[in-house]
Amino acid sequence: MSPVLKTLISEDQIKTRVAELAAQIDRDYAGQELILVGVLNGAFIFLADLARRLQLPVRIDFIRLTSYGTAAVSSGEVRIMKDVELPLRDRHVLVVEDIMDSGLTLDFLRRHLLGHRPASLKICCLIDKLERQDVKVPLDYVGFTVPKGFLVGYGLDYAHQYRHCPEICELSLENADPQ
Ligand code: IMP
Ligand code: MG
């Protein structure tokens, strides 16, 4: 099996959409302070680009969750590997996530962060994958919707590879041509 990458979303498309999301967030939170909670590892590039487009005063924290291991299909169990460190109580909190597939990760994260009693909690997700969605999680800001497929690049990985690819690609595993 050899991996085949097909570009779905170009660098330019990502750049334009991230700027649009930042402008919308700036408008929605005008006059307020925001804490961005990036979900490691996948959201690190998206968060870095989005944060640099925001005019608002922001603080940045990270949480690391795991459900996938190195497989392409979720194990269904979400665990916290690194929790947030900033106090979130009475703060406006915006989760920054790379992609929603089954919704299990964001559903777990939402409940976990609501336990900190923030003033508000919203979710900004770069990609909303429409294929599965076992759990319905309200997404407040969405970069792109895709119908299906396994995506890599711009932070997204397959077995820890391809995160540094500047565009978003669909990965498929195909049999190598028989010689
Ligand atoms: P969910 O819990 O099934 O919604 O999965 C969410 C997490 O799985 C995301 O935070 C990603 O890290 C990972 N994930 C889901 N779909 C993909 C994909 O297409 N490519 C890479 N990672 C993915
Ligand atoms: Mg993730």
List, by residue number, the catalytic residues. 101
pLDDT of residue 52: 98
Q: Which helix (H) or strand (E) holds 13?
A: helix 11-28
Q: What is the whole-number distance in angstroms between the Cα of residue 19 and the centre of ligand 1?
A: 23
* CB environment 92-130: b (16+ within 10 A), e (fewer): bbbbbbbbbbbbbbbbbbbeebeebebeebbbbbbbbbe
| Minimal-distance CA residue to ligand 1 atom 15 | 101
Mutate to test the pocket of ligand 1, among 45, 156, 172 (most ligand atoms within 8 A of CB): 156
Per-residue confidence of the chain (179 residues) as pLDDT tens digits?
788 999 999 999 999 999 999 999 999 999 999 999 999 999 999 999 999 999 999 999 999 998 755 555 555 688 999 999 999 999 999 999 999 999 999 999 999 999 999 999 999 999 999 887 789 899 999 999 999 999 999 999 999 999 999 999 999 987 655 44
Confidence (pTM): 0.92
| Minimal-distance CA residue to ligand 1 atom 10 | 99
